[in-house]
Structures are given as C-alpha cells and as structure tokens.
Amino acid sequence: MREFRQVLEREDSINYAIKEVLAEGKTAYQEYLFFDSVLHGRCLVLDGDLQSCERDEALYHEALVHPAMLLHPNPKTVLIMGGGEGATAREVLKHKSVERVVMVDIDEAFVSLCKSYISSWGATAFNDPRLELHHRDINEYLESCQEQFDVVIGDLIDVSDWESDAAALYGSNLYRRLKAQMSSNGIVATQAGTLDMQKLKNHKKIRAVLAENFSEVKSYGLMIPSFYALWGFVIAGDSLWSCDMKECFKRDESLFEALGSSALLSAFSLPKVIKTEIGV
C-alpha cells in the first residue's frame, strides 16, 4: 500500500497509509496531492506538507476562525488571506452579523481543485453571495485595497525558510499594510505553526511580527489528531479583551460542530514550558 510520508525533522516522520490517490500534480504556485487516507479520510498535501484531513479539519478551522469572530463585538466585514479549501470561509459565514467576506488566494487552479476533490468543505461558502473571491498576491491586494475590515483571518501555508518568498506572507510589511485596512477595533488571527518544543521558532517569529503592529497578542493551541501535534495560532488587536473571553465564546454554541466553546477556551491555557519558551 502506498504511503504519504510527512517529514518532521531528519530523524522523525509520520507515514499515512493511502487508500487511493485522487489527484496529484503542480499548479503555477505549488505541488498538490489529494488522497483518501485509511485513518483520516480525505486529505490534502501542499508542497509535501499535510494541510487538512476530513476527520478533523473542522477542529482546525473552528479554532482558527471563531476566537476572533466572537471577541469582536459586531464583525461585518472579514478578510481571509489564503483559505483555498473554503473551510475558513465556511466558518466565518456562520456568523449572522457578517455582511461581506473577501477571500484572497493567489492560486486559482488550487481553489478549483478543492471545489472538485473536497467540495463539501467549502460548498456553503463558495455558494454564498456574501463571499467575494480574488486570485491575487495578498500583499498586492492590500496595496490597492480601500476597504476596512473588522476581522482578518490568515489561513496561509507554513513557512520554514524565512528568506523564501513565502515569508512575505507573514512579514512586517504585510501586517503594517493590513492594520491600515482594519477598523479601529479590528482583530486578526492566523495559524502559526506547530507548538512542538523543538520547532517553536516559526511561531515565535509570527508572534513577534504581530506584536510590532498590535498592542495585544495572544497565542493558543489545539491538538489536531491528523497532524499528531499541538498546533499553534495567534490572535492580535488593540482592544481584544473588551469582553470576557469565556462569555464571548459561549455566545453562540451552534457555531461549533466539532470543538465547542469550552474546548476553545482551554486552547488559550498553554503548558508552562511552551509559554516560557515563547516568552509569555
């Protein structure tokens, strides 16, 4: 049986047994692999890194989206950076206050593949008239954007090489431009890599860049079974805690199909050793 091998470090890897390869190839921007896994259902791989699996993608996307959406008092306009699977937009559009969502994902071919091979993940989003989809580089989009956003969600690929082109997706220039396009009480949340004790440098870097631009920054993490890792996220703003976190997260329990408000709250209680390592 064929396997997909996720390399963690030179000494460690995870093998995923493949039932069937659905699509494999390369767009103008990235290599892709869609396959059905024995344990995790349908899975997506980009440039050799596992991105999402059917069995637990809702855990990841609910954790990414709902803290920012619930901590904002009335999110009406939302910007999604990346998010080609459609699942991030799906979670954003569950919020009744939302009037407009702009999703900027540079890779049109990849988004089309997602609509074909993981169609159920983003079907409700891609068919929602509140969603506006742009296939542009996010930095270029922000340079010409005149709109103000209440919430910004970053669902972008991981960066392992901070000298690469991909590093611009998490750079100071991007977040400086981004803040100029956010409302006065705007909130940004982004995926921020694994919280593995040996690989925290990426999370620390993303956190530091956000701290350069926002007065309040908070890390949180959730165990994603198919990743075999505690996965990190960062949320930032200048008025994050205008309401009690526990009460905000309980505001609409119907938003959660996988996670739930209690589990989301616990994600903000990171182990002491991780907090010490990232400097909080």
**Active site members:** 155
Locate 227 and state its tokens: 């990743």
| d(C-alpha 232, C-alpha 278), whole Å | 11
Beta strand ranges found along the chain (DSSP E): 3-9, 12-26, 31-37, 41-46, 49-53, 77-82, 100-104, 131-134, 149-155, 182-194, 216-224, 229-237
| d(C-alpha 216, C-alpha 142), whole Å | 22
| d(C-alpha 71, C-alpha 156), whole Å | 22
- Please tell me what DSSP assigns to residue 196: -
CA torsion through residues 9, 267, 130, 127, sign: positive
* Partners of 41 in beta bridges: 37
- Evaluate whether 218 touches 234 at the Cβ level (below 8 Å): yes
- Evaluate whether 33 touches 27 at the Cβ level (below 8 Å): no
| d(C-alpha 272, C-alpha 280), whole Å | 9
Locate 133 and state its tokens: 């989809």
- Evaluate whether 278 touches 219 at the Cβ level (below 8 Å): yes
- Evaluate whether 88 touches 112 at the Cβ level (below 8 Å): no
| d(C-alpha 175, C-alpha 152), whole Å | 10
